[in-house]
Amino acid sequence: MSGRNVFTLLEETARVCGNAGALHQPSGSKAGGGHRTYSWNEWLEASREIALGLRRLGLKNGEIAGILSETRAEFYIVDLGIMGAGGVAGALYTAYPVSELARNITSIQPRFLFIEDAKLWQELADAIRTSGGAFPSEVIVMTGSPVEGTRGLADVQALGQQALAENPEEFKQIQETISPSDPAILYLTSGATGEPKMSLTSHAAVLANADMAPIVLPITPQDSTLVFLPSAHIAQRIVLEIVPMRMGTPVWFSESLNKLPNELRTIRPTMFLAPPRVWERMYATIQNEGKRYGKTKQKIFRAALKLGIAATRLREAGKRVPLHMAAALKMADRLVYRKIRERLGGRIRIAASGAAPLGRELAEFYSGIGMPLFEGYGLTEAGVLCLNPLGHARPGSIGKALPGVELRTADDGELQVRTPCLFEGYYKDPAATRSVMTEDGWFSTGDIAESDADGYWYITGRKKELIVSSNGKKIYPSRVENLFKVEPVINQILLIGDKKPYVTALLTVNTAQAQSLDVPVEKAVQEAVGRVNQQLADFERIRRFRILQHDFSIERGELTPTMKIRRSRVLENYAPLLAELYLGKEEMH
């Protein structure tokens, strides 16, 4: 029954890397470099103790233990402890309102819940009490002091130490009861196109994904990564927790998004994964700062960026960069590109974008400055599926299928996949599971896709988000929305127009960029819309738009924790404003 499981990966790496630093958690002070470092051996020992402690508290094989915590060293340690005990690690998105978290807890009904600190537990307990839900019987506080009715993480570890002293073979005996086909992780889908679902993934599926890494993501113990994405998301869990654990690559945890720019400069990671929203903000900041230069420097700055993009397009077309352009690129690198890369630490060799689609123009910008973004593609239900080959990224593409992954398109263009990383099914929802599986065993992704002759895949839209105008024209909003990612004044955009005579949009503005403008914000936005409209067919063009006074937010249910817009919730929240957009004569922009 026993076999290789996720905990085995940690054991394998600890045998090789031993006392080298594995996890670097900000300590909140400058003492000792401002980080608490756990070696691979310390990580292994702590997770093993938690596993044994959980078994002493009654955790059974296949039982779900919830984790409600920001991404931090203690999360990684607890995550492996739960899986090492034969349990199922179910992480929750901390960014969601407490009332929604209470609903998640009520749906899962875990007996065990690890929570970041006592303050968060007190808020959650009030929400669960208000909703009439059941409380977990074992609440374990991961940092700080526990409160009445909870335990500290150290208390669970002490139980594990006691178990190990009484029976040194106990952990090995537990491992022998875990089968590769057993569930290891309970994921929550992001809920971008509907209410979040819960997805069960086996040890074997996680291991299959991790074992693809040496072929497509060659990182080593000499590399490092800086992480900040929520650990409930599969991109963070697989690419930035499980894969570095398999490859022996040390992980540094960000203290906060506000401190991320400075952390990039001081930690200087060699691999960095971020969603498009982060790359967009970096781009907007770079463009905004370029405007502060004198006229001569501004001219050099703009010319350098234009040159880099032109070179990128030549390479993508399989053409050689002319000698005169190559010489100019060297000059541009010294004067402009290198300075931009140094702001990100200057050592990033794998800059990846994931968790949402990346615009082609944005990808061309980063490729042009000598730091190409390697866009990938994955799903909660099917793991990481595609990645642009390192050194051969194609802007706008999600890359090629990973080894062992099969892709095809249905008659309507929907991407379908077959992979050893496929989930076991939606938790307690067999009907939903059946709805996404074909009769011959392929998973239907909900994404519309196409591939080129070289095997690169491109996502053109979401099936559920397709806009069909009243005259029958089909518009994929993500394709149009992606064109705005290189318009610094635009922060967020949502296209509207299903069953309507023309396309409209809701927009939010980049505040920092707006403050630096020489023209009114409305005029700058109208000019940005006009530039995008020039790239569109007549039926796709935005005829009217409204600028919102605030950004879409997670708190109002308009964004997922990875910053994807939940279209249906936005349409619901702004229904009166949307009605105004279709009153009277259409405005041409």
Q: What is the pLDDT of residue 584?
A: 58
Q: Which of 56, 87, 58, 91 is nearest to 74 (CA)?
A: 91
Provide the β-strand partners of residue 201: 185
Q: By the 8 A CB rule, do 220 and 247 touch? A: yes
The two tokens of residue 137 are: 């019987």
Q: What is the pLDDT of residue 33?
A: 54
Q: What is the pLDDT of residue 32?
A: 44
For 162, the enclosing helix (H) or strand (E) is helix 153-166
Mean pLDDT, rounded, for 472-492: 83
Q: By the 8 A CB rule, do 182 and 86 touch? A: yes
Mean pLDDT, rounded, for 536-552: 88
Q: What is the pLDDT of residue 390?
A: 87
pLDDT higher than 50, residue 589:
no
Residue with tokens 């086909």: 181
pLDDT tens digits for range 169-181: 999 999 999 999 9
The two tokens of residue 272 are: 């960095």
pLDDT tens digits for range 549-587: 888 888 888 887 777 788 888 888 888 888 888 875 555
Give the three-state DSSP class for 172.
Answer: helix
Q: By the 8 A CB rule, do 67 and 82 touch? A: yes
Mean pLDDT, rounded, for 443-454: 92
Phi, psi of 361 (to 5 degrees): -65, -35
CA distance 150 to 153: 10
pLDDT tens digits for range 293-343: 778 888 888 888 889 888 888 888 788 888 888 888 999 889 888 988 998
Mean pLDDT, rounded, for 218-234: 93
CA distance 344 to 128: 42
Q: Which of 419-442 are b and which e, b meaning 16 or more Cβ less than 10 Å from the residue's Cβ?
A: bbbbbbbbbeeeeebeebeeeeeb
The two tokens of residue 169 are: 């073979």
Q: By the 8 A CB rule, do 378 and 384 touch? A: yes
pLDDT higher than 80, residue 289:
no
Write the CA distances from 163 to 52, 106, 177, 293, 366, integer angstroms.
7, 31, 17, 65, 52
Average model confidence (pLDDT) for the chain? Answer: 88
Provide the β-strand partners of residue 545: 505
Q: What is the pLDDT of residue 31?
A: 45
Mean pLDDT, rounded, for 133-159: 93
**pLDDT higher at 277 or 29:** 277
Q: What is the pLDDT of residue 112?
A: 96
Q: What is the pLDDT of residue 283?
A: 85
Q: What is the pLDDT of residue 537?
A: 85
CA distance 443 to 421: 11
Mean pLDDT, rounded, for 88-100: 89
pLDDT higher than 90, residue 134:
no
Whether the model pTM is above 0.75: yes
What single letter denotes the amino acid at residue 356? A
Instruction: Provide CB contacts within 8 A for 534, sequence distance 6+.
Output: none
Across 128-132, 245-249, 449-453, the highest mean pLDDT is recorded for 245-249
Q: What is the pLDDT of residue 184?
A: 97
pLDDT higher than 70, residue 195:
no
